[in-house]
Structure 1
Amino acid sequence: MQVHRTVIDGVVQFVPAPHADDDDFHTATLDAAIAAAHGVDTGRFVQDSQSRSVQGVIRGMHGRLGAGESKLVRCAHGAMHDIVIDARPGSPTFGRVASFLLDDTDMRQLYIPAGCLHGFQALTPTVDTCYRIDTPHDPSEDVSVRFDDPDLGIRWPLPVGTMSEKDLAAGSWTELCARLDVDPRRRTDALGLTSW
């Protein structure tokens, strides 16, 4: 299994090495020793979940306040355009937006630390997304930012499909920053330069 650091501090990609022949394949989707060597404590995961989405659907951008929620995300079927936003006030990459392709071909997984926002768009007719989370869900800590917030400038590859009422009613990046008591203009770009 290969491990890749990303442009957001603490966000890690795990890339398995499937063993395939003409009829099937087998791969390890998680290796606790490798994960631990890269700062991911797999023993903390308390819940596995799976969602199904149809092409064009956008889910996000979701996060949690308080202790937050770390998650390990993979696409079990299909392909998805995955987005992570660093919303941790003390992070050196605060405000940075990064995109990733997760699919059932290379089977990459993405570890997203607590305090980041996460969302995705389904790229194929059906997408099954699997999550491992390290904290029981507490709806009172949920936060969300609009998928089309102009300050974040997220580019979605497909026309926007179905969205939940909750996601359509999400607040802005500026409103979240006010809750976090952080200047929304303090963002770090992919080159590590802080802008105000």
Structure 2
Amino acid sequence: MKVITTDIPDVLILEPNVFGDARGFFYESYNQQVFTDKTGIAANFVQDNHSRSAKGVLRGLHYQITKPQGKLVRVVVGEVFDVAVDIRRSSPTFGKSVGINLNADDKRMLWIPEGFAHGFLVLSEYAEFLYKTTNYYAPDGDRCIIWNDPQLAIAWPIDTYPLLSAKDRMGKTLQEADLFD
């Protein structure tokens, strides 16, 4: 596995070693020892989630203020533009974001630590998105920052209004949101 740093050093791109031939491919999508050795992160993943979304769907920017979650995310069908936003007030990268394309072809993954809001926009006809979390879903701590907050100025690759859930349409701005210290 190759680890690539981003403009926010805590957010990492992971490229697995993929072995392919005429029959198809094989790769280890997750190995705890390799993950820890290569990243220096001793994450304890407790839950796996799987979503399928149509083109133009934007999910996020989600986080849990109580029981925060680190996430290891990847796409197994299609392509998304994936975003992590640092919402730790004491961080030198507070309010900054990292956005990368994740797709089923290159099999890259993104590590998003606790203290970040996360969202993605589906670029392909549909996409299936998998992610491991370091804490269980906690509805009472579930929060959302609005995707188009002008303070964040995320360069979403979209030219029409995205398809949003009711919860995501009601997201708060960074200035209004509950944040981490």
TM-score (norm 1): 0.86
1:51 correspondence with 2:51: yes
Deviations 1:121-172 (A, max 9, x none): 0010110000101111111111111111111111221223321000001111
Deviation at 1:9, TM superposition (A): 3.0
Aligned AA (1:4): I
Contact 1:68 1:114 in 2 (8 A): yes
Q: What is aligned with 1:191?
A: none
- Alpha-carbon offset, residue 97 of structure 1: 1.1
Partners of 1:67 and 1:114 within 8 A in 2 = no
Where does residue 72 of structure 2 map in the other structure?
72
Which letter maps to 2:13?
A: Q
- In structure 1, distance between residues paired with 2:49 and 2:5: 24
Is residue 161 of structure 2 the alignment partner of residue 170 of structure 1?
A: no
Aligned partners of 2:75 and 2:102 also within 8 Å: yes
Alpha-carbon separation, structure 2, partners of 1:111 and 1:9: 11
How does 1:23-42 map onto structure 2 within 5 Å? 23-37=23-37, 38-42=39-43
TM-score (normalizing by structure 2): 0.93
Residue pair 1:9, 1:91 contacting (<8 A) in 2 also: no
**Structure 1, residues 83-129: CA drift from partner, whole Å, max 9, x if none?**
11000122221111110111011101111101100000001011000
CA distance in 1, matches of 2:128, 2:179: 32
Q: Report the identity percentage.
A: 33
Structure 1 residues not aligned, in runs of 5+: 183-196
Q: In the alignment, residue 70 of structure 1 is paired with which amino acid?
A: G
Does the residue aligned with 1:173 lie in a helix, a strand or coil?
A: coil
RMSD, matched Cα: 1.5
3-state SS, counterpart of residue 148 of structure 2:
coil
The answer as to 2:147 corresponding to 1:123 is no
Contact 1:5 1:13 in 2 (8 A): yes
Distance 1:63 1:181, change over 3 A: closer
Unaligned runs of 5+ in 2: none
Q: Deviations over 1:18-61 (max 9, x none)?
A: 1111231111111222211213224x111111000001110000
* 8 A Cα contact 1:15 1:109, kept in partner: yes
Counterpart residue number, 1:111 = 111
